[in-house]
Amino acid sequence: MARRKSKPRLGKGLDALIPAGERPAGGVREVPVQHILPNPHQPRTRLSEEELDELAASIRTHGLLQPLIVTRIEEGAVGERYQLIAGERRWRAAKRAGLERVPVVIREATEQQMLEWALIENVQRADLNPLEEALAYQQLAETFGLSHSQIAERVGKSRVTITNMLRLLKLPPSVQQLVLDGELTEGHARALLALETEEEMLAAANAVRRRGLSVRQTEALVRRWREGDEVEAERAAPSPLDAELQEQLQAALGTKVELRRGKRGGKLIIHFYSDEELDALYRRLVGEA
């Protein structure tokens, strides 16, 4: 029986940061936690206070089992100082737990490597919000001149995945914030990109949130919108002329009337609340009243 090929791993984890040949016995040392500075290229912008508290409680009981990855940035009269490469969540939790010293592995690293390694760690742990991940890829592309294929090779993903993630940055800032806040998923956001204007994307995003639509339902909503149907998405407020016309229709018919404009024409929705009201509306509209 032929052996099944194993699936490719996402990145290389700690092996990417500390190759086996560079991890001899005693390679891990302890340094004062206050001597470590955060990684300025850390792609993760938000850390859950609840998660930090839970991790801090675990560290108080069991200690910090996995070393942080740091690079040396300063020594001499001031003393050694280190900049974090990977492990920011554990570093912050260790400080919260009251640890005075933490285990580290010291590596030489360029700015590009600091971003790459922090990104690899967060991607492997699924710690990054989709927009945080996209912003990190953008920094690798713009600051360090990496192609989508080169980024994909470094983080263990396909080039298509990198390209699709970067497309999220074409969303309006207000919609990007919804992704950052976790109110829209990557799937929702990618569906909204099929709309033509920022106003349409924001209006559709509001409809998705209000109605609790799934990704598949969002894709269907966007298709109907592109075909010219208004659906129930929150468009801009009606113009003064349309608002006045709507009020006149409501007064004439004696019931609620909604005037909705689409890309081609629009809809006039007349509400009724009983068969008797429907019959009265019919007579009025066909001239029998």
Of the candidates 74, 88, 196, 247, the residue annotated as catalytic is 88
Name the CATH architecture for the domain at 13-110.
Alpha-Beta Complex (3.90)
pLDDT tens column, 33-45:
888 888 777 666 6
Determine the 3-state secondary structure of 102 from DSSP.
strand
Whose structure tokens read 């349309």? 242
For β-strands 101-106 and 68-74, DSSP reports them as: parallel
Round to whole Å and give the CA distance between 35 and 95. 11
Task: Judge contact between 119 and 138, C-beta under 8 A.
Answer: no
Tokens 């933490």 appear where? 102
Q: Could you give the percent of the chain with pLDDT greater than 90?
A: 7
Q: How distant is the alpha carbon of residue 179 from its chain centre?
A: 4
| pTM given for the model | 0.53
Measured distance CA(189)–CA(170) in Å, rounded: 10
CA 114/CA 127 separation, integer angstroms:
17
Q: Which residues pair with 209 in a beta bridge?
A: none
**What is the distance in angstroms between the CA of the first residue and the CA of the last residue of the chain?**
83
Strands 29-32 and 68-74: unpaired
Position with higher pLDDT, 47 vs 13? 47
**pLDDT, tens digit (0-9, with 9 covering 90-100), for 111-144:** 777 777 777 766 656 567 888 888 888 888 887 7
All structural domains of the chain with their residue ranges: 13-110, 187-226, 240-286
Query: Catalytic: 116?
Result: no
115 closest CA partner among 12, 14, 36, 43: 43
